[in-house]
Amino acid sequence: MIRFIDTVILAHTKLRTHKVRTGLTLGVAGILFGLILGVIFVAQGVFDSVERFSEEGLADRAIVAVSKWSDAYYNQYEHAEDEDFIAEVKATHEALVVKKTAAAKKYNVSYDAKSEDPSPIIIDRETKKERISDDFMESSIVMQVVEKRSQAAHKPLDIKAFLAPYPSAKVLPGNAAVNTADGSIYFMREGREEAMRPESERKKSNGGEYGQFETSIQVLNDTITRPFVTIDTFDYDKGEIPGVVSYSHAEELLGLKKLSKASTNQEKLDRLAEVRRRLPEVTASFCYRNSTSQALLSTAMAQQQEIERNKNNKDYVMPSIIYTIPDDTSCGAVTIEKDTRTSAEKHQADALVSYQKEIGEYPGEPEQQKVIMRAIGLSGDAPTDQIAGSAGAMVMGLLGSWLSYGNNWTIPNGMLARVPESLRPTTLFPDPNDEKGRNEALGKMIQIESYLVEFSDKQEARTVLQRGGAFGGVIEDNALSVSPFGSGTLMVNEVKHWFEIGLMWALAIVGGVAFIILAGLIGRMVSDGRRESAVFRAIGARRADIGRIYGMYTLLLAVRVVIFAAVLGLVLSFAVDVWLSSDATVGARLAYAAVDTSKEFHFISLASWYVPVILGAIVVVSLLASIIPILLGARRNPITDMRNDT
């Protein structure tokens, strides 16, 4: 058998023949495999970078939000002609009229059932049948029945049963939105109550009046918030409540003008550093008012405006009760400045309160509370509409570690428990020691139960998310929704999964194409080398020697494809890295609100087990492609090949 080095010498001569054909084949195969390698280098770079940044925030934890909303919402519009529904509405209405009439009589309050509370039932002109009047669809009577029916049909989420198939799942307790059954908690922009600003100064909101949906407060389990907390010391007796603030909101609270889209990456990083440095300064005020307080404030403000308008009107009769509006920074109570009511008027007012209490319509005493939040940590912004435009925005959107959507404050439940109870009334804050882990709120009609579930086995988290689609979503048969919480780690895992599948397909296709073109080249090379093989056979080469020479030729060819593909892959991924790394680094640092600002996001990494797989695949494909031509070539009769040549 010919020696290895001699095989290389003879095989190498074949690479010097048919340079154009060989070059084209090398080029095509190299480009195909090079593109795959490039994708792998880039993908691995992304995965590695994600892992590096995962040390920040929640990124390495597999937390899934499992929510269930009432799956039995009774839609009154669909049942406007339903006889049972109509009968129940009618009965409820009649009972209320009876109750109101009796209470009115009892407390000597004026009440006309026909004018004040006409029947919600009408006769349809076309069908001549009873139906709910369109005007009463949202009335309290109809909604009472709707609520009753919805609640009767609602089946609460049995989280234990739902998680039974996933042994690594653990419900994280102590999570709840700071939300109120009555009234609202408002963010005080620039420390002032939005409702007390003149109309022209009010912020145009896309989510409700006075911006109450633009900034929210929630309480979350300590283990979730811990990675975001960077300020360890907090004075619980100062009247403030500690919270992790979202990056953009912190920026706003520090009075920093939002950077323009054209701002440089350095400006963005400088901004992050500044926000981090000035984080101890960040505070935000919120004002809670129940509906009575809100109504009273509105009344007082309207009264003040009326008095102002009539200050020169001598005929204007001042109201019997004159209110004092609190300072707009205090979130204080409306007080009575002057009460000139007669005793009869006072008696009538008391009677009205008693009547309202009797019929269950008493709004309650006014309640208000100012809440001052102080930043103890920073979280990344949740993905919004930024998932387009730049690598940084994409990274922020997909990989960030966030605690809630929009501007928000997140209070660690353990820290909330240490805040004096006077600062966290139960009407406003949830019980920080609630072990249920359930966040249920948001109104009486549509009930939402929400749990945060952590999986120590990420595969189980993936399985749960897949029940709602590849990246979470609605589980149709359970009226549940599942979604990744806190970071894109599960999404990235899913991307990795699909990437692997896509890669295998791409490899199969590229391998097939490369096989065909390499087999073509090697076949031609063997065919064109018949005469030479015949001469080698004549001077003593065995069939195996000829096979070894062509096998070595194939290996040398494969090595060239490997080198070309690797270089191309490196160049491509390097180019992508140069192009996007800077943007992505900024995006990642912002997304994770990174504490360690030396971390960089790169789009290139060679440390992937796919790389040897691809390089091995090139060699294997080449060798496979050479087997048949080599076998056929080695079996030829040298005499025939020499004769054909001459």
Which x/- pattern, by CB under 8 A, does the window 540-559 give for other proteins?
A: xxxxxx--------------
Q: Which stretch binds other proteins (CB under 8 A): 37-45, 359-367, 405-413, 539-547?
A: 539-547
What's the min distance (Å) between Cβ of 627 and other proteins?
Answer: 19
The residue whose two tokens read 């002032």 is 192
In terms of CB distance, is 429 or 550 closer to other proteins? Answer: 550
Crossing angle between the packed helical segments 489-528 and 543-591, to the nearest 10 degrees: 160
Q: Does 11 bind other proteins (CB under 8 A)?
A: no
What's the min distance (Å) between Cβ of 541 and other proteins?
Answer: 5
Q: Which stretch binds other proteins (CB under 8 A): 8-16, 88-96, 209-217, 495-503?
A: 8-16
Question: In whole angstroms, what is the distance from residue 124 CA to residue 111 CA?
Answer: 28
Q: Does 631 bind other proteins (CB under 8 A)?
A: no
User: Which member of 243, 430, 569, 638 binds other proteins (CB under 8 A)?
Assistant: 638
Question: In whole angstroms, what is the distance from residue 151 CA to residue 227 CA?
Answer: 39
Q: Does 17 bind other proteins (CB under 8 A)?
A: yes
Collapse the DSSP code of 520 into the 3-class scheme (helix H, G, I; strand E, B; otherwise coil) and give the result: helix
Neighbours of 233 (CB within 10 A): 6
Question: In whole angstroms, what is the distance from residue 407 CA to residue 246 CA?
Answer: 6
Question: In whole angstroms, what is the distance from residue 486 CA to residue 490 CA?
Answer: 10
Which x/- pattern, by CB under 8 A, does the window 47-86 give for other proteins?
A: ----------------------------------------
What's the min distance (Å) between Cβ of 3 and other proteins?
Answer: 6
Residue type, 167: P
- Which residues lie below 8 Å from residue 603, measured CB to CB, with a gap of 6+? 42, 45, 46, 49, 573, 576, 577, 580, 581, 584
Which x/- pattern, by CB under 8 A, does the window 562-591 give for other proteins?
A: ------------------------------
User: Which member of 16, 160, 204, 277 binds other proteins (CB under 8 A)?
Assistant: 16
What's the min distance (Å) between Cβ of 532 and other proteins?
Answer: 7
Which candidate, 219, 234, 55, places its Cα nearest to that of 596? 55
Question: In whole angstroms, what is the distance from residue 474 CA to residue 463 CA?
Answer: 14
Question: In whole angstroms, what is the distance from residue 602 CA to residue 300 CA?
Answer: 59
Q: Does 643 bind other proteins (CB under 8 A)?
A: yes
In terms of CB distance, is 164 or 639 closer to other proteins? Answer: 639
Question: In whole angstroms, what is the distance from residue 212 CA to residue 288 CA?
Answer: 10
Q: Does 537 bind other proteins (CB under 8 A)?
A: yes
Q: Does 637 bind other proteins (CB under 8 A)?
A: yes
Q: Do 582 and 370 contact (CB within 8 A), yes or no?
A: no
Number of residues that bind other proteins (CB under 8 A): 31
User: Which member of 278, 341, 524, 531 binds other proteins (CB under 8 A)?
Assistant: 531
Residue type, 227: P
DSSP assignment, residue 108? Answer: T
In terms of CB distance, is 508 or 639 closer to other proteins? Answer: 639
Give Dmax (Cα) for the chain.
134
Q: Do 215 and 253 contact (CB within 8 A), yes or no?
A: no
* Positive or negative: CA dihedral 32, 33, 36, 37: negative
What's the min distance (Å) between Cβ of 544 and other proteins?
Answer: 8
In terms of CB distance, is 541 or 621 closer to other proteins? Answer: 541
The residue whose two tokens read 């909303």 is 69
Strands 62-69 and 283-289: unpaired
Q: Which stretch binds other proteins (CB under 8 A): 5-13, 122-130, 148-156, 317-325?
A: 5-13
Collapse the DSSP code of 231 into the 3-class scheme (helix H, G, I; strand E, B; otherwise coil) and give the result: coil
Which x/- pattern, by CB under 8 A, does the window 309-348 give for other proteins?
A: ----------------------------------------
Q: Which residues of the chain form contacts with other proteins (CB under 8 A)?
A: 1-3, 6, 9-10, 12-13, 16-17, 531-532, 535-545, 637-640, 642-643, 645-646
